[in-house]
Amino acid sequence: MTTELLKAGTLSRAVEVSLDLERRVTLEPIMSHPDYRMNLRPLGTPRGVSTVAGPHDIGASPGDKKSKNKSTRGKKKSIFETYMFKEDVSEGLKRGTLIQGVLRINPKKFHEAFIPSPDGDRDIFIDGVVARNRALNGDLVVVKLLPEEQWKVVKPENNDKETEAAYESDIPEELCGRHLPQQSLKSYNDSPDVIIEAQFDGSDSEDGHGITQNVLVDDVKKLSVCVSEKGREDGDAPVTKDETTCISQDTRALPEKSLQRSAKVVYILEKKHSRAATGFLKLLADKNSELFRKYALFSPSDHRVPRIYVPLKDCPQDFVARPKDYANTLFICRIVDWKEDCNFALGQLAKSLGQAGEIEPETEGILTEYGVDFSDFSSEVLECLPQGLPWTIPPEEFSKRRDLRKDCIFTIDPSTARDLDDALSCKPLADGNFEVGVHIADVSYFVPEGSDLDKVAAERATSVYLVQKVVPMLPRLLCEELCSLNPMSDKLTFSVIWTLTPEGKILDEWFGRTIICSCTKLSYEHAQSMIESPTEKIPVKELPPISPEHSSEEVHQAVLNLHQIAKQLRQQRFADGALRLDQLKLAFTLDHETGLPQGCHIYEYRDSNKLVEEFMLLANMAVAHKIHRAFPEQALLRRHPPPQTRMLNDLVEFCDQTGLPVDFSSAGALNKSLTQTFGDDKYSLARKEVLTNMCSRPMQMALYFCSGLLQDPAQFRHYALNVPLYTHFTSPIRRFADVLVHRLLAAALGYREQLDMAPDTLQKQADHCNDRRMASKRVQELSTGLFFAVLVKESGPLESEAMVMGVLNQAFDVLVLRYGVQKRIYCNALALRSHHFQKVGKKPELTLVWEPEDMEQEPAQQVITIFSLVEVVLQAESTALKYSAILKRPDTHGHLGPEKEEEEEEESDGEPEDSSTS
C-alpha cells in the first residue's frame, strides 16, 4: 500500500519512511535529522531529550522577533526565568536550599502542579505555567521554595481543590493482585502476571485552554488562565480565585496547617516527557499579525502540554485556505524549543494520524505521546535470533540442565494468551508433602548481553498491553514461539522448586536451569472449573489437549493441590501483614471485523487467578533473597515505600470524622479494615471500592532499585507485601527487569560470570525500567478509556447506578457501578435551581435543589455525600472522544425513581470484584 498523505494530497517536503508504510506520514524537517525518528531513538539518548538543537530552516522563533535588536530598548521581556547553572544546582541540592522531584501536573486543573516532598509531608505546590518554567509532566525538576508569604493557603472550607495525588494511578501492582490481561482482538496477550492498576479517567475534567494573560502578583509574573463557559467542553465550573488562592497578604496569623509550601522550577534535571503531543491545528486569532503569516497554532489534546507554534510551511498546503477541513484531523507535534520570552512553545508537525475519535489514530497518538517505541524490529535486531527454523534445543544444554520433561507441568493463562512465560508443577511426595515448581521461560538464553536485541529490549523495558493489541518488548518469534512455554514442546526454563507442607511451609528450596515439556495449556476458566468441581471428572471435550504421558485426572489433582497450598500461603501472607487494594477493571468484547467494542464487563478475580498469583509471589521473594545474598551491592530489587505521611494523616482525620472504621497503623491493619464487610446489602462491595479508592491516593509507586545504592536496608522493604526483599523474576518475556534478575540468579548459581554492571549503571537501568513501566501503565489506562469512550459513543447513552466517591464545591466524583469507571459530575451541567456546599465536621456535603419539571411541583432536594447512591447517564459529547456523566433527576422526595428498581436488582446479582485489562 502507498502512504496516504494529508487531504491536500501532499505535504510540504513530505517524505515516505520505512516505518509503518501503510499509514505513516512524516515531514522532512524532522526526519532529515539522522537521530530524530518518531519511534526509534538512538540508544543512550535520554527519553524526551530532543536530539535536534532547533527547528530546521524555519527562521527565528515567535519569541525572537525583538531579541536580535542589540538595543535593550523595546526588547521583549522574558516570561520565564533563566535556568540556573548546573554547578549551582548541584551545590543547592547538597545544601538543601533546592529540592528535586518528579513534576506532576494536575490533569483536571492544568495550572496546578506538584512535586513530592522529600520528607513525606504534603506535596510541594507549583502554581501556574510561569512557576513551572517550561517543565512538562513527568520531568525530573529542581525547585526553589518561595517565601512563606507566597505559599498556598489551603482553605479548610474549600473542598474544590484537587488532592495532591496525580490522577494517574501510582498504585503498584503488588497492591492489586495478579490480574488477567484484556483479551485482545488479535489474541496478543500478556502472561497472567500483568496487573493493570486503578483506572482514573482524567480525560473528563481538564480545564479548556482559554485566553492567557499575564498578571503581576506581588512582583511575581504569573500566567493566569481565563476560561469562558462557551469554550469549556467539559462543563467544568470556572476556576475562581477562591479555588487557587496562593498569595496571602498576611499569612502569619494563619495556623501552620493551612499553608502549603510553594515553589518554582529553576532547572530541569531530566526531560522525561516525550515532548510529543497529539492535537489539532488552528489558525492564529490575529489575522493581521506577522505571526499569522508564518505560523499555525497547535492545540494539544492534553492540556498539560502548552500550545505550540508550528511553521505554516510544514502544514498541509491548503490549511490556511480551508482550515475547517482539518478541524477533526489528529496531528502529532513535537516541541523543539520553548524560549524564555514566549508563552507558547515552538514545535514541528510530525505527522497526520487521521480522524479524531477513531481507535487506531488515537492509539498511535497515545503511544507516541508516552514515548512507546512501536516500530518494527530492525534487521540488526532480528539477526540476533536463531536463523535455522524450526529451532531445537542444542544437545549440550541437556547436560547443563535438570531434565523435567517427564514431570506433570502445565501453564494457566488467559484462553487467548500466546506469550506463556510461567508454568507450574505439583508432585505429591510419599511423606504427605509436595514438590512444587515454578518454571519461567529462560529468556536470557536468547538475549545475549550487549547485542542489538539486548539494547532494544533494555530501551523498551516492557511490553505495552493495549485493549486491542500488544507492543512487545521482544520480537514475536521469541515471545510466542522460542520462549513461550507452549504445550507438548521442549522449552528452556529457569525453575524454583520447593518442598512444601500442605500448609505451605517451606522445607527445602532449589534454584536452577531446567528443561520442561508442558503437558497442557489450561485457561483460567479450565483451572476454575477444576477448583469448583473437585470430585467430578471434567469432560474431555471441555478441556484442552493433554499429552499422552499425563491424564486429565493427574492435571486436575495437581490443580487442586496447588489451590489448597495457595489458600494457605495467601492466608499466611495476610496474617503476616500484607495489603491488597483491589480496584475494578474493565474487559471488553470486540467486533472481530471492525475492532470496535461491542460491550464491556467488570472482570471477576477468582481462585484460579489467586492460585497462580501466590506461587509467582513466592518465586519472586525467593529469588530476591537469593540474589541479594550473592550480590549485596548489585541486586536488582523492587521496593515499595510507605504512604505519603501528610495525605495519610488527612485521610485518617477524614475517616475519624465520618465514622469509618479504618485502621491505618500498618499495611496489615489497613487490609483488615478493608476486608471487613461494609454492611450486608448488595452495595457493600461498592462501598468497599469507594473506600479502597480513597486509601489508594496516599500510596506511592513501587520502584526497581540497585541494592548497592541504598544505605538503609529498611528502605528495601515492600510496604504492600510487608516483606523485606522482593523482585521481579516471573515475566521475562515482557519485562526487562526480569531478564536482568535472571542474569543475576544465573551468576549467583555459578552458571555464568558476575554481571558486568556497576551499581550506578544498574540503577540507571532500574530508573529507566521505572519510567517505562509508569508510561506503559498510563498507556494501558488510556487505551481502556479510549475504548470505553468509543463504546459510549457507539452504544450510549448508558445508564447505571453510581456511588459517590468524593464531593467538591461545584461537582462530585462517582464510581459507575455497572462499568467500574470513575467520572466527575458538574452541578452546572444539571437542571438545578441552586446548589450549596458545606462541611459537616470533615464530611463534605453538597445539597442540590432541582428545577421542578412541573411548575406546580415543589423543587426536589438531593443531598450528595460520600457513599450516596445516585443514578447517572453516560453520554457522548460533540467532541470526538469525550463523554460526560449527568445525574438523573430524582423524584420530588430526592430519591431514585421507582422505574429503575427492577433493573437495579438485576445489575447486582453478580459480585464484581475486579476486572483485568492490559
Query: How many Å apart are CA 565 and CA 638, to the nearest integer?
Result: 25
Query: How many Å apart are CA 454 and CA 384, to the nearest integer?
Result: 9
C-beta of residue 641 within 8 angstroms of C-beta of residue 721: no
Q: Residue written as cell 501556574?
A: 128
Torsion angles phi and psi, residue 8, rounded to 5: -65, -20
> How does DSSP assign 827-864, residue by residue?
GGGS-EEEEEEEEETTEEEEEEEEPPSSTTSPPPEEEE
Q: Is 704 left (phi over 0), alpha (psi -120 to 50) or beta?
A: beta
Residue type, 773: R
Torsion angles phi and psi, residue 294, rounded to 5: -115, -25
Residue 413, marked binder: yes
List CB contacts of 593: < 8 A, sequence separation 6 or more: none
Helix (H, G, I), strand (E, B) or coil at 715: helix
Residue type, 695: C
Residue 201, marked binder: no
SS (H, E, C) 741-786: HHHHHHHHCCCCCCCCCCHHHHHHHHHHHHHHHHHHHHHHHHHHHH
Query: How many Å apart are CA 762 and CA 744, to the nearest integer?
Result: 11
Query: How many Å apart are CA 889 and CA 883, to the nearest integer?
Result: 19
C-alpha cell at position 848? 442540590
Sign of CA dihedral 672, 678, 681, 682: negative
C-alpha cell at position 497? 522448586
C-beta of residue 239 within 8 angstroms of C-beta of residue 162: no
Query: How many Å apart are CA 870 and CA 801, to the nearest integer?
Result: 6
Helix (H, G, I), strand (E, B) or coil at 892: coil
C-beta of residue 373 within 8 angstroms of C-beta of residue 39: yes
- Residue 775 to residues 168, 367, 770, 915, Cα–Cα distance (Å): 10, 9, 9, 21
List CB contacts of 541: < 8 A, sequence separation 6 or more: none
Q: Exposed e or buried b for every residue in 246-262, given b needs 16+ CB within 10 A? A: bbbeebeeeeeeebbbb
List CB contacts of 601: < 8 A, sequence separation 6 or more: 586, 587, 589, 915
- Residue 599 to residues 354, 392, 536, 794, Cα–Cα distance (Å): 25, 43, 33, 10
Q: Exposed e or buried b for every residue in 38-56, given b needs 16+ CB within 10 A? A: bbebeeeeebbebebeebb
- Length of the chain measured in residues: 918
Neighbour tally for 341: CB within 10 Å: 17
Torsion angles phi and psi, residue 700, rounded to 5: -105, 170
> How does DSSP assign 783-803, residue by residue?
HHHHHHHHHHHHH--EEEEEE
Query: How many Å apart are CA 248 and CA 262, to the nearest integer?
Result: 12
Kind and range of the H or E element at 532?
helix 524-532
C-alpha cell at position 729? 523474576
Helix (H, G, I), strand (E, B) or coil at 596: coil
Annotated binding site: 413, 422
Give the residue ranges of the annotated binding site for Mg(2+): 413, 422
